[in-house]
């Protein structure tokens, strides 16, 4: 086991060097009162003629796409809508999007929604660029290696960070797993910050997507591949989230809080796209694949027990983060308490009602397979320790009838 862990650390060093040397692109951010106007001028300059608008039925039902669609049509840009996707976009749904894009001879993609819409648009673009390569064949690092059709995104949640990351996640329903595709070309060309589109987000989604962003920032910070750039982005993200997320949750129409959360999600995305994530994400991806849990909620459910597992091994880093995100006199313990209090304030359950004891060994095995060797975690977890974390999420293992998510 020691030799295997040494191999993992050598691999992590290679990833750290690659992240420092590779020219990770950053999308143009259109924000403020002139965001849409500036974006439309950009599209005209790019001679865009036909956009595939990728979104989910919930966004369309709320008409969150209506303003942008009208503006595009007014600028003689045709809009084709594709909304055949769920909370965890599947290989089959992405292939349907590819067919839609090709059938209507689109030249650009626009995702309006959360991480599922953005990941779906990114992967449709990857398949367009790589018509003879399946999504399964692109799993892992740098398997796309092509220039994609332009992808623009409008986050209607503030959490996934997909608007600035080199990663997109897809569900393989046949194998009952989720896997990621990672490539520099997956970073969108541009992102529009329209905080008014996030005000209709239900409180539960505001909470879970916000904790998703917090998890990105935390895992980027405590992982061994953090550097000055990613620490700065994580510190900014955590400070903004701890202040703005409760306000966005309790005051949904607070545009200041909503704007802060959009920036926080982007900062967290910029951090973890250079450092990767950790065990929270490894477990959350499996919970999403097996039980259909939304990614943000799955992260929120797992965050507390994983922080408890790490214990004092990450206290030095948490204390440094506390001094930047709370105040200069704060400790690691105070930051932990602040995070746990926030989870409770946002009504994040402590348990998963559907979690079955018989599923735990396979979930743990798949989570470890995802994490090792790719995730530069602070310390390594065994199969038994992973299973213990998962068992702590079974409702009857919790005292005092703590609430469970189903």
pTM (two decimals):
0.91
Least confident of 34-43, 175-184, 329-338, 394-403: 394-403
Is the pLDDT score of 367 beyond 90? yes
Say which residue the tokens 């965890």 belong to. 88
Q: Residue 401's pLDDT is what? A: 47
pLDDT in tens, 281-305: 999 999 998 998 888 999 999 999 9
Is the pLDDT score of 84 beyond 80? yes
Q: Residue 88's pLDDT is what? A: 80
Q: Residue 404's pLDDT is what? A: 60
Domains of the chain: 24-197 (3.40.50.1970), 201-405 (1.20.1090.10)
Of 236, 144, 137, 130, give the one whose Cα is nearest residue 187.
Answer: 144
Q: Helix H segments across 22-107?
A: 35-45, 57-61, 66-74, 91-103
pLDDT in tens, 30-61: 999 999 999 999 999 999 999 999 999 989 99
Average pLDDT over the chain, rounded to an integer = 93
User: What DSSP line would sit under 270-333, residue for residue?
Assistant: HHHHHH---HHHHHHHHHHHHH---HHHHHHHHHHHHHHHHGGGGHHHHHHHHHHHT-TT--HH
pLDDT in tens, 2-27: 889 888 889 899 888 888 888 889 99
Mean pLDDT across 77-106: 95
pLDDT in tens, 181-202: 999 999 999 999 999 999 988 9
């Amino acid at each position: 086991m020691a030799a295997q862990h040494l191999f993992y650390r050598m691999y992590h060093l290679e990833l750290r060097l690659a992240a420092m040397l590779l020219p990770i692109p950053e999308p143009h951010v259109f924000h403020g009162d002139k965001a849409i106007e500036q974006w439309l001028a950009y599209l005209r300059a790019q001679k865009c003629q036909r956009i595939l608008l990728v979104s989910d039925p919930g966004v369309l039902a709320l008409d969150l796409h209506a303003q942008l669609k009208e503006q595009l049509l007014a600028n003689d840009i045709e809009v084709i809508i594709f909304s055949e996707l769920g909370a965890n976009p599947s290989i089959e749904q992405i292939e349907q999007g590819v067919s839609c894009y090709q059938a209507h001879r689109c030249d650009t993609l626009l995702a309006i929604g959360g991480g599922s819409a953005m990941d779906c648009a990114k992967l449709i673009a990857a398949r367009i660029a790589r018509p003879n390569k399946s999504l399964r064949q692109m799993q892992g690092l740098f398997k796309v290696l092509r220039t994609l059709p332009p992808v623009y995104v409008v986050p209607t949640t503030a959490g996934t960070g997909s608007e600035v990351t080199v990663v997109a996640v897809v569900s393989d329903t046949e194998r009952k797993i989720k896997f990621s595709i990672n490539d520099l070309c997956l970073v969108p060309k541009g992102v529009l910050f329209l905080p008014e589109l996030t005000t209709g987000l239900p409180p539960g989604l505001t909470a879970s997507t916000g904790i998703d962003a917090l998890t990105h920032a935390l895992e980027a910070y405590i992982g061994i591949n953090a550097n000055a750039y990613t620490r700065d982005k994580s510190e900014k993200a955590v400070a903004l989230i701890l202040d703005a997320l409760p306000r966005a949750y309790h005051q949904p129409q607070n545009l200041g809080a909503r704007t802060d959360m959009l920036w926080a999600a982007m900062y967290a995305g910029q951090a973890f796209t250079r450092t990767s994530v950790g065990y929270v994400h490894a477990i959350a991806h499996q919970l999403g694949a097996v039980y259909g849990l939304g990614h943000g909620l799955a992260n929120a459910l797992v965050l507390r027990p994983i922080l408890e597992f790490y214990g004092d091994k990450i206290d030095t880093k948490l204390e440094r983060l506390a001094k930047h995100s709370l105040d200069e006199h704060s400790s690691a313990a105070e930051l932990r308490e602040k995070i746990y209090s926030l989870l409770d304030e946002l009504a994040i359950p402590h348990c998963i009602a559907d979690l079955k004891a018989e599923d735990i060994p396979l979930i743990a095995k798949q989570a470890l397979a995802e994490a090792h060797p790719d995730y530069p975690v602070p310390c390594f977890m065994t199969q038994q320790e992973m299973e213990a974390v998962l068992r702590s999420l079974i409702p009857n293992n919790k005292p005092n009838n703590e609430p469970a998510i189903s």
